[in-house]
A and B are shown apart, each in its own frame.
Chain A
Amino acid sequence: MSQYTEDELKAKIHGGYILESPEEMTPGYRKAIIVQLTVQADTELMSAPAYWLAARHAPSTNTQVSAHAIIQDELAHANIAYRLLEDMGVSKEQLVYGREPHEFKHPYGFDQPLDNWAELVVANGFFDRAGICLLGDVHRNTSYGPLKRALVKVDMEETFHLRHGEVWMRRLARAGGAATELLQRCVDWMFPMTIEWFGLPDDLKRHSGQLNYKLKGLTNDELRQLWMSSTVPLCEGLGLKVPAHYDEEREEYVLEYPFPCEYDPEAKRWLFEDGEITWQAVFERWKGRGPMNERYVESVRRSRGAVGSWLN
C-alpha cells in the first residue's frame, strides 16, 4: 500500500517522481493505470485479428511477410501490456479469456472489417499513427517506470508499421485510377474513425485521472491535433481529400464535418448529412460494438479451451 495520500502522490509525481512497483500506488492511481493499460492491451490484441484477416489480401510473399511481422509485433505488445497488469494483481487469464467480446476496451475502429490491401495499409497509416501519438505521449510522460521501459520496444515497432502504411499509401496514390479511388474510399471512412478514437473533446471532459497521475501528458484534443498535424499533410501530399484543414487564424486543424456524427458500419460511411450527434450517442454505438467484434475476439482464443484441457 502506498505510503502517500492521493494528493501527496499527485504532488510528488508532478515533481518528477517515478513509481517502480504496484505497492507504491494509491487506490486512485492503481485504478487509473489499470484502465489505461487495459485499453492499451486490448487495442493491441484486437488489431492482430483485424490485420490478420486483411493480410490475406497481401499482393506478394514479401508483403505477406511484412503484414505478418506487424501482426506479430501487435501480439507481443498486447502480451507485454497484459503482463504489466498481471504484476498489479489483475489476471491476464480473466482479461483475455474470461470476458465477453463486447467487454473488451479497444476502440470501435478495431471492430470494423478491413476488406482489402488498401484498407490494411491505411489502417497502418492512420490507426498505427494514432497508436504512436497516444503511446509516444505515454512513453514521454508516464510516471510508471515499468511501463516507460516497456514502451521503448512498442514505439520503435509502431514506427515501422506507420512507415509500412505510408509507403504503400504512396504507391497506391501514384498508381492512379482504381487504386487511387479505392485509397480515397478508405480515407473517407478511416479518417473520421481515427478522429473519433481520441475520444471526448477537452471542454466536455470533466476530470482526467490519467493526467493528474501523469499517466499521459497530452489531452484528447491535443492528441487529435497531433495526429492531424502529420496525417493531413500526408494525405494532401498524396492528392487525397480529407475532411479537415489547417486554420491559419486559429492556428490549429479544424474538421469540416459535424463532429461527432453517426456511422453506418455496413456501408462503411459516416452520415455527415444527418448532422452532429451527442457523445452519449457515440458511447452507445461504441458499447454496442461493431460488426467484427465477436469474430475478432474468438479468433484470438478459439483453441485455448481444447489445448488447455489436453495439458491439465
Chain B
Amino acid sequence: MTPPLGESVYEVFARKNRGEPLRHIGYVDAPGVELARVYAWKTYDEENWFEMCVVPRGAVIPVNRPEGPWARNLPEAEEER
C-alpha cells in the first residue's frame, strides 16, 4: 500500500447568491487549510458561488443529533476517548 498523504476532512459550505442560506454542499480531504480551500473551490465549481467556506470536520459540534459524521465531536465522545 502507498502511504497516505496526511489528509483530513473539511466540510464545504456555500451560498449561491446574496440573501440565500449558506448550504452544506459537500466535503474534501486535504492536508491543511490552504489546500482545503483550493480543493473545495476546484471540486465544487458547478456554480458561480457568491460565498464559500470550509470547516474542519472536527470543528462541527452537533447540538441535537447523536449520530452522523459529526457525532464524534460531541463532548461525551471526547470524554470516552
Contact = CB atoms under 8 A, between A and B. Distances in A.
Contacts of A309: 3
B1 A93 contact: yes
A23 B42 contact: no
12 contacts: A76-B42, A76-B43, A83-B29, A87-B69, A153-B44, A301-B2, A305-B3, A307-B5, A308-B2, A308-B5, A311-B5, A311-B6
Interface of A: 20-21, 23-24, 72, 76, 79-80, 83, 86-87, 92-94, 97-98, 149-150, 152-153, 156-157, 301, 304-305, 307-309, 311-312
Nearest to A96: B2
A86 B9 CA distance: 10
Interface of B: 1-6, 9, 24-29, 42-46, 67-69, 71
Which label, helix, strand, loop or mixed, suits the secondary structure of the A interface? helix
Contacts of B3: 305, 308-309, 311-312
A307 B1 CA distance: 13
A95 B24 CA distance: 26
Contacts of A301: 2
Given A93-B1, A97-B1, A311-B5, A23 B67 contact: yes
A72 B41 CA distance: 12
A21 B69 contact: yes
A23 B44 contact: no
Nearest to A154: B46
A153 B28 CA distance: 14
A94 B3 CA distance: 11
Contact of A304 (B2, B9, B26): B2
A304 to B, nearest CB: 5
A157 B67 CA distance: 31
Given A23-B67, A23-B68, A72 B42 contact: yes
A311 B29 CA distance: 16
Closest 6 CB pairs of A and B: A308-B3, A21-B68, A312-B3, A23-B67, A153-B46, A76-B43
A150 B2 contact: no
A309 B69 CA distance: 30
A99 to B, nearest CB: 11
Contacts of B4: 93, 308, 312
Given A83-B27, A150-B26, A98 B1 contact: yes
Given A80-B43, A153-B44, A305 B2 contact: yes
A248 to B, nearest CB: 40
B23 to A, nearest CB: 9
Nearest to A308: B3
B26 to A, nearest CB: 6
